[in-house]
Structure 1
Amino acid sequence: MVHAHPEQARKALIGGLILTAAFVVIEAVAGFLTNSLALVSDAGHMLADSAGLILALGAATLARRPATSRHTYGYARFEVLVVPIHVVLLAFIAGYIVFESVSHLRSTPEIATGPVIAVGIGGLMVNLLVVRLLHNHSADNLNLRAAALEASVDAVGSVAVVISAVVIALGGWAGLDALVGLAIAALVIPRALSLLRQSGDILLESAPPGLDPVAIESAALAVKGVVALHDVHVWAIAPSFPALSAHVELADVTCTEHILTDLATLFRDRFGIGHVTLQPETPALHAAMECCLSPDSALLGRGDHAHRPVSVG
């Protein structure tokens, strides 16, 4: 798993933000002047993109702060914590677009199609450029991934704006412009829900996509000297920060260093997990610990319940 350099990702965010924010103003003004709800809707969507990029940039800046004795993982999860704000903004803009679209369907104003086509083509070029800027860094950053996806959908929206304006210019129904606005709003909702689900998975410390604990355990058992792997936990602090912890039963504790090194290498190279915490133990030690840590251990704590000394050497 190859991760993008944080500074390169930050520069991509800044570049995408400048392009998107500048064109929001152009598209919004053109939309109001030409009575094109499709353009206004697309501008609103790009405004959400800009807000998302600002949130991602702020989170990326905070995430660069070093770990402390209290925040031992650092501040990487800021990236995830700002996602709900982004989702609320997307939902608000989608609601506004739907409201305005319904109003325009009831009374369709005359639309200046020439400027709409020109601005729509400009929006398409800007969105494609933003996608290109963000794509190489989106795998490691949830907000950046969302922004790249939104720019892709915005590009589709710009194509729809241009097509509807051309159809209207050729004598088609003017209400088509409002329908395009509704279509753009419809594209926002599932993306917002998907983004919220991804951030929820991280906050619930679910196994990241592509990291199956069963497959990890199976691979670990193939390492020489490993008897069993249990209490396996795989989670992510952020999309670019997967982590794993597990108990490892060893056939021979004198080989602990070599076995743990082999396991750490396996988890890093095959699964892309760089942060690994492993607790080595013998089968006898594991049985003793399981007994004492069991919820029913109090029932076993009678006179007839005693552990023999466990040798770990």
Structure 2
Amino acid sequence: MSVHDQMHDAGHTHDQGRGHGHDGHGHGPGGHSHGVSADADRRWLAAALVLIGTFMAVEVVIGVIARSLALISDAAHMLTDAVSIVLALIAMRLAARPARGGFTYGLKRAEILSAQANGLTLLLLAVWLAYEAVERLIDPPPVAGGLVLVTALAGILVNIAAAWCISRANRSSLAVEGAYQHVLNDLFAFIGTAVAGLVVLTTGFRQADAIATLVVVALMVKAGYGLVRESGRIFLEAAPAHLDPDAVGDRLAGHPPVAEVHDLHIWTITSGQAALSAHVLVEPAGDCHAVRRDLERLLSKEYGITHTTLQVDHAQEALLTVGRTADDGADPHCAEAHGPVHRQGPHDH
């Protein structure tokens, strides 16, 4: 059996005993998962979806009539907002299903999939709208500035209402936060479109519509890139952005009577749910069970990590050299170290 398997066997045994597959209290740091709040989240998201979907359909018709690419680009942005909300609702349903079979974490990463799909859609739409906007800068068609202005002002009110609805939901979810940020970006885009409509109406400068579209494109690229980057980090098992694994390893190794920490892994299961596994070697006279409890409390209090799998063993009398065999007098558990080794005193990184 591999070291990683041993760690998970040992860790999940005590996890089950304490019942903290998520965090021991039924909620993760910065989030809430009890049934009433989950139902309330879905209601708020559904309300925002109705607002956005209804206005988006009206805006497409008006954009075609007014020949305004800025309005059509705003509608496209609202489409991605609507899709992100739908995906968030689906992901919330899937994530609530209990873990079973081969899905040992359940379907909690469904929301990360939805966030990545939404980010990619934003980036693809941004490319198309940028191309259309550049064409209109070169050869601007006539635009009904008054109609653009009125529609954009209405869009500002709709986006304010939708943003308020989404802000009432649990924004620790990457999918929900992504939808919220998109609606905020859309709000700024409508402000730019309103300015463009006013400029066209008062000065006849038709390129203002294409310029407003490019502003929307920039906002879409920013939001899309952020979602793809954050969801990509989770899929690649990177440590949460706010945690430094080396600092965590040094902190654990500095806790007496710990002699060494290696095979330290920190990753994110889904939004707001960090997990950690490590092999901890304790001085021969130390109490392995007490050390495990102390380290779990430390990780929970200082780093907000409550899903932990710690394999704790006594160290040999001689200083261990990870990767050597038991016949050499070294650690018999690890045939190969995965990542830096953290020890008291000078650290081996």
TM-score range, shorter chain: 0.7 to 0.9
Q: Superposed, which structure 2 residues align to 1:63-102 within 5 Å?
A: 63-102=95-134
Question: For residue 240 of structure 1, what is the amino acid of its counterpart?
Answer: G
Structure 1 counterpart of 2:346: none
Change (3 A) 1:219 1:55: same
Where 1:198 maps in the other structure, the secondary structure is: helix
Matched residues in 2 for 1:232 and 1:273: separation? 13
Residue-by-residue CA offset, 1:117-175 (whole Å, 9 max, x unaligned): 22212211222233333346565222222211111111110110111111222124012
1:235: how far off?
Answer: 0.4
Change (3 A) 1:252 1:122: farther
Structure 2 counterpart of 1:292: 325
Could you tell me which of 238, 255, 278 is aligned with 2:287?
255
Question: For residue 324 of structure 2, what is the amino acid of its counterpart?
Answer: C
Could you tell me which of 31, 45, 57 is aligned with 1:3?
31
CA contact (8 A) 1:4 1:137 kept: no
CA contact (8 A) 2:69 2:133 kept: yes
1:191: how far off?
Answer: 2.4
Change (3 A) 1:260 1:27: same
User: Which is worse superposed, 93-102 or 239-248?
Assistant: 93-102
Where 1:205 maps in the other structure, the secondary structure is: coil
CA contact (8 A) 2:130 2:217 kept: yes
User: Which is worse superposed, 61-70 or 80-89?
Assistant: 80-89
Structure 1 counterpart of 2:9: none
Residue-by-residue CA offset, 1:188-210 (whole Å, 9 max, x unaligned): 12322222121111111011111
CA contact (8 A) 1:250 1:280 kept: yes
Matched residues in 2 for 1:248 and 1:267: separation? 14
Tell me if 1:114 matches 2:146: yes
Where 2:251 maps in the other structure, the secondary structure is: helix
Instruction: State the aligned residue count.
Output: 299
TM-score by length of 2: 0.77
Structure 2 counterpart of 1:124: 156
Residue-by-residue CA offset, 1:245-275 (whole Å, 9 max, x unaligned): 0111223566333221221111112211111
Structure 2 counterpart of 1:55: 87
Matched residues in 2 for 1:165 and 1:307: separation? 78
Residue-by-residue CA offset, 1:10-34 (whole Å, 9 max, x unaligned): 3333232222212211221221122
User: Which is worse superposed, 119-128 or 87-96?
Assistant: 87-96
Q: Superposed, which structure 2 residues align to 1:1-313 within 5 Å?
A: 1-5=29-33, 7=38, 8-135=40-167, 137=169, 139-251=171-283, 255-284=287-316, 287=320, 290-292=323-325, 305=327
Question: For residue 2 of structure 1, what is the amino acid of its counterpart?
Answer: G
Matched residues in 2 for 1:163 and 1:259: separation? 63
Change (3 A) 1:235 1:253: farther
Matched residues in 2 for 1:308 and 1:275: separation? 29
User: Which is worse superposed, 120-129 or 59-68?
Assistant: 120-129
Structure 1 counterpart of 2:15: none
Change (3 A) 1:68 1:288: farther
Matched residues in 2 for 1:257 and 1:307: separation? 24
CA contact (8 A) 2:148 2:193 kept: yes
Matched residues in 1 for 2:325 and 2:100: separation? 34
1:289: how far off?
Answer: 7.2
Q: What RMSD over aligned residues (CA atoms) do the two structures have, in Å?
A: 2.6
CA contact (8 A) 2:66 2:144 kept: yes
TM-score by length of 1: 0.85
Matched residues in 2 for 1:82 and 1:155: separation? 22
Identical-residue share of aligned pairs (%) = 30
Matched residues in 2 for 1:215 and 1:84: separation? 29
